[in-house]
Amino acid sequence: MDIRYARDNDLEFLIAGLQDNRAIERRREDQRAASSADIAELRQAIREGTIRVLEDEGEPVAFLYFRTDFEVLYIRGLFFWIDLVYVREDYRRRGLGRRLYEDALTIAQERGLERVVVDVFEANDGSRRFHGQLGFEPVYTIYQRPVRR
C-alpha cells in the first residue's frame, strides 16, 4: 500500500468518505449528503495538496484531509489540523488510520509545526478510542442546547 497526494480522479471516493463519516457521526439523513460547497472545498484541497490518500493496488481505500492555516479559538501557535480521516469499511481495523496519522506527523514535523490537532465527535466512540491510543488528549468539549425545548 502506498500513500500519495489526492488527484482529481479521487473526488468521488473523497465525497463518499465524507458522507460515510457523517453517517458514523450519527448526523441526520438530510445532513449527510455532500453539498456543492463541500465538493468545491474538496476540489480546492486536491489542488492545494492537503489530502493524503492511501491506496491498495492503485485503488483509494483511505484518506486524511489536513490544513495548516486553520484557526481554533482556544489553540495557540502553529499546528497541523486534521480535518477529516476516512478508511473504507472493508479496510478498517488493519492499521491504515494509524499509518495515515504517522504520515501526517511526518508532514507536520517537516513543516516545523508544534502539534497535530483534531476535532473528535463525542458520538464517535471508535474515533475517541483511536485517538487516545495514538496519544491525543482532549483539550475542551463543546456543548450546545436549543433555545426552545
Residue 39 lies in a domain: yes
Statement: residue 61 has pLDDT above 70:
yes
Which pairing describes strands 115-118 and 51-56: parallel, antiparallel, or unpaired?
Answer: unpaired
Task: Spell 85-110 as b/e; 16+ CB within 10 A means b.
Answer: bbbbeeeeeeebbebbbeebeebbee
- The domain that contains 33 carries what CATH number? 3.40.630.30
User: pLDDT tens-digit profile of 72-112?
Assistant: 666 777 788 899 999 999 999 999 999 999 999 999 999 98
Residue 67 lies in a domain: yes
pLDDT-derived band of residue 71, with 50, 70 and 90 as boundaries? confident
Residue 148 lies in a domain: no
Which cell goes with 44? 480546492
Residue 140 lies in a domain: no
Query: Of 46 and 137, which is predicted with more confidence?
Result: 46
Residue 49 lies in a domain: yes
Residue 127 lies in a domain: yes
Q: What is the largest CA-CA distance in the chain?
A: 52
Distance, in Å, from the CA atom of 13 to the CA atom of 17, rounded to the nearest integer, reads 6
Q: Which of 99, 112, 117, 121 is nearest to 22 (CA)?
A: 121
Query: What's the structural domain count of the chain?
Result: 1
Residue 12 lies in a domain: yes
Residue 56 lies in a domain: yes
Q: Which domain holds residue 82?
A: 2-133
User: pLDDT tens-digit profile of 46-60?
Assistant: 999 999 999 999 999
